[in-house]
Structure 1
Amino acid sequence: MTRAGQTSPKALRGTAALLLLLTCADALHHGISAPLVAAAFAAVIAVGERVRVTLPGDREQAPIGTAVALAYALLGPLHGLPTTHGVSQVVAVAGIGTLAGLAPLRSRRRHRRCRPEPGRVDGAVRRLLTVGFAALLFQPLYNSGALDQLPLAGPAYGVFLTGVAALAALCDATLAAVQRRARNGLRFAAALEDELRSLLGIGSAIVATGMLISLLAGEVGLWALPLFCAPLLLAQAAFRRAAAVRATTGQTIETLARATEVAGYTPPGHARRVADTACALGRELGLGSRDLALLEYAALMHDIGQLSLVEPVPDGATALLPQPEQQRIARLGSEVISRTGVPGQVAGQVARLADPCHGPDGCADRTLPLAARIIRVANAFDDLSAAARRRGLTEQAGRQEVFELLRAERGRLYDPGVLDALARSATVVVRPD
């Protein structure tokens, strides 16, 4: 991870903290506009922070808190009367509500207060900066009367709010990509693609709810908060249930992957080491979180076909077998995986992981999945490293020998791009069984 990647989260936290301090001071200096309304929005934001949901890819989301904070940033008239709160009060209210939701809870077991996890803090920082950005786009235009001079009556006003909300969503996706790049080592383009894709899910529900609350508050006042937060709470419960299903799938795959170790077909920890190496290579090659999850599943289960063998492969090292035997084991494993309910792409990746990189005509096989090429290199790396350790070679000597053996088959058995990624990756080391 680069130094810039390490400092980005700290810079964002510092910016958010400074922004919150300045806006709170400004709001106190000029007085709180409609304090009861501000308190109501802050209270719902705090509740929303308490009922966060973790989405695939370890994304922390606070749908209710984010939607309500966005609604406050885009709030124009309230119950038919114009509001006068500005950017500073929006950021202050959102920040105070977020801090109240992040306030550490007392541990039941140890009877002490627990600090919020870094991921929760980063999510709160991102949401605060996004709300501040949305308020900066809307509040000055509304409070100055500039919107009254524009033809924004009726549907046009809704279109304007949609544009502001869309820009705020893009801001949130960009900040989330910066944070994920620093935390997980993903390339920024891949992280941004993942975040933009997530907008089609719960992100669109958050933006739509925030807009509806701000629009309907002009007619029904604060009743818009419970009226539109309830459906979002139900949607959040559905997303949480889906996340639980994915977690169960992951646990099932982990258990199946250990079957070859328990049966004595592969060395202890082999599947996990191959999966870790494959994911490191996938990140180096720019895969997004969804592709990385499928890659991890396939890497964990890449040796499941060995269970159909009468005699175990010596030391479980399939990389040392003849090519046809490797392909046969891969096909057998794919058939087993296809009957487990695992996503179909995983079975397809395992089926092709022993295929050569070039077709019979000598041209690169473009139908060979990148995941299959990655797993083949990761598996060979672990098998050859284990063989080097059994011969008593030091880590440095073993690593050098492994890379020489892999480069000898560069372009024929092993993809050149994946080998280059292996050489660049600092997270791949020769580890003991």
Structure 2
Amino acid sequence: MPAVTLVVRGAALALTVAALGYTLWHGVDGPGHALAFGVLIAIGELARWGALPGEREPAPLGAAGALAYALLGRSGGQPTGQGALQVVAVLAAAQLVASVPHVARGSGPGPDEVARRVLSVAFAAVCFQPLSNSGRSESWFGEGPYYAAFLLLLLGLTALCDAVLGALLLHARTPVPYGPLLRDELRALIGIGSAVCATGAVMALGVAAAGLWALPVLCVPLLLTQVSFRRYITVRTTYRQTITSLARSTEIAGYTPHGHARRVAALCTAVGRELGLSGPELTVLEYAALMHDIGQLSLVDPVPEGATATLSAAEQRRIALLGGAVVRQTGV
């Protein structure tokens, strides 16, 4: 196991043990709020049940709930007293409870994902809770727009910390350079990442003004976003399966060697990552690589090994145009 992975997992484990021990020894401050946010995080983690391949954040509600608890300084106008260690303890307990059905089913988040969540939420709590509990955040920023801007700034720093951790852990598992991985993580913040951060901030502000009754109402938009995103992922998966099957038609018909399209797609994707292409651009590149030989189906006799470079320029262009016409029919 790479040293970076060991360090990140070890830090998250040590922090979790310390947080649970401290909370058990000193007791829970505001047990009602701890229970409410713990249940919210657990429900969000259980929503991983229907996660699909390609989901960057399979538990957005759990992430938003954890961030909201880390940035909670008041509830219904009254100050709360939970510290950073209690925030981590509630997050860890909720994840442990939610992991039981996942483990029984043989699925669930991996250790890297859990460690990343614990460290990111701990970062937000360490930055916010000492200022809130000492009253300095209220005296410095008040309760108006400056306070909201302060929360957004903390969320931005937390998202940056999470992106750096995610890229480090992925770089430790794959040969992909760190730079393109970090760019992918930062670009992902524009999508589901921004929705999670915004929902976390709105939850914290809503509970501060209206109390715990605001939580169920504020969860609905993110749940709807998650459902819509999973429908989108399902459609995209269907497209990918269709294109992969269509690309194999040249192999089945004997026009290209077995596995040729898949190997070209893997090579193109690796080169694209080296060039710093984003996720959508890599998807387009993969689709193009998978279907680059589809025009050979118009040939009466297969070219040996599918090497169309041996044909005349006019014939190569004709094959390419026919392949493009087929690709356009897929609608992707």
Q: Please report the TM-score for the alignment, with normalisation by the length of structure 2.
A: 0.92
Residue 141 of structure 1 aligns to which amino acid in structure 2?
L
- CA drift at 1:115: 4.6
Paired-residue identity, %: 51
- CA drift at 1:214: 0.8
Residue deviations 1:270-299, cap 9 Å, x none?
222222233333344444433332222111
Matching residue of 2:270: 280
Residue deviations 1:50-74, cap 9 Å, x none?
1137577452431100111100000
Select 1:139's aligned residue among 114, 126, 129. 129
Task: State the distance in 1 between where 2:172 and 2:133 align.
Answer: 38
1:84 counterpart SS class = coil
2:256 counterpart SS class = coil
Residue 82 (structure 2) pairs with residue 85 (structure 1):
yes
Task: State the distance in 2 between where 1:296 and 1:235 align.
Answer: 27
Q: Please report the TM-score for the alignment, with normalisation by the length of structure 1.
A: 0.71
Matching residue of 2:186: 196
Q: What RMSD, in angstroms, separates the aligned Cα atoms of the two structures?
A: 2.2
Matching residue of 2:91: 94
Matching residue of 2:286: 296
Task: State the distance in 1 between where 2:107 and 2:81 align.
Answer: 34
The within-5 A match list for 1:377-388 is none
Task: State the distance in 1 between where 2:54 and 2:177 align.
Answer: 14
Matching residue of 1:158: 148
Matching residue of 1:75: 72
Matching residue of 1:10: 6
Distance 1:216 1:60, change over 3 A: closer
Select 1:37's aligned residue among 26, 33, 36. 33
Does the CA-based 8 Å contact 1:79-1:220 persist in structure 2? yes
Task: State the distance in 2 between where 1:284 and 1:147 align.
Answer: 43
- CA drift at 1:247: 0.4
- CA drift at 1:319: 3.8
1:193 counterpart SS class = helix
1:338 counterpart SS class = helix
Q: After the TM superposition, which of the residue ranges 249-258 and 55-64 deviates more from structure 2?
A: 55-64
Distance 1:173 1:55, change over 3 A: farther
Matching residue of 2:228: 238
Residue deviations 1:161-191, cap 9 Å, x none?
1111111111112212222223343322211
Relative contact order (C-alpha < 8 Å, sep 6+): which is higher? 2
Task: State the distance in 2 between where 1:222 and 1:194 align.
Answer: 35
Does the CA-based 8 Å contact 2:255-2:306 persist in structure 1? yes
Residue deviations 1:253-276, cap 9 Å, x none?
011101112222222222222222
Task: State the distance in 2 between where 1:90 and 1:194 align.
Answer: 29
Distance 1:226 1:151, change over 3 A: closer
Q: Please list every run of at least 4 consecutive aligned residues from structure 1 whose deviation after the TM superposition is greater than 6 angstroms.
A: none
Q: After the TM superposition, which of the residue ranges 168-177 and 6-15 deviates more from structure 2?
A: 6-15
Does the CA-based 8 Å contact 2:84-2:125 persist in structure 1? yes
Q: After the TM superposition, which of the residue ranges 324-333 and 188-197 deviates more from structure 2?
A: 324-333
Count of aligned positions:
331
Residue deviations 1:325-353, cap 9 Å, x none?
434322321222122212xxxxxxxxxxx
Task: State the distance in 2 between where 1:284 and 1:336 align.
Answer: 29
Residue 270 of structure 1 aligns to which amino acid in structure 2?
H
Residue 182 of structure 1 aligns to which amino acid in structure 2?
A
Q: After the TM superposition, which of the residue ranges 132-141 and 269-278 deviates more from structure 2?
A: 269-278
Matching residue of 1:218: 208
5+ residue gaps, structure 1, are 107-112, 343-433
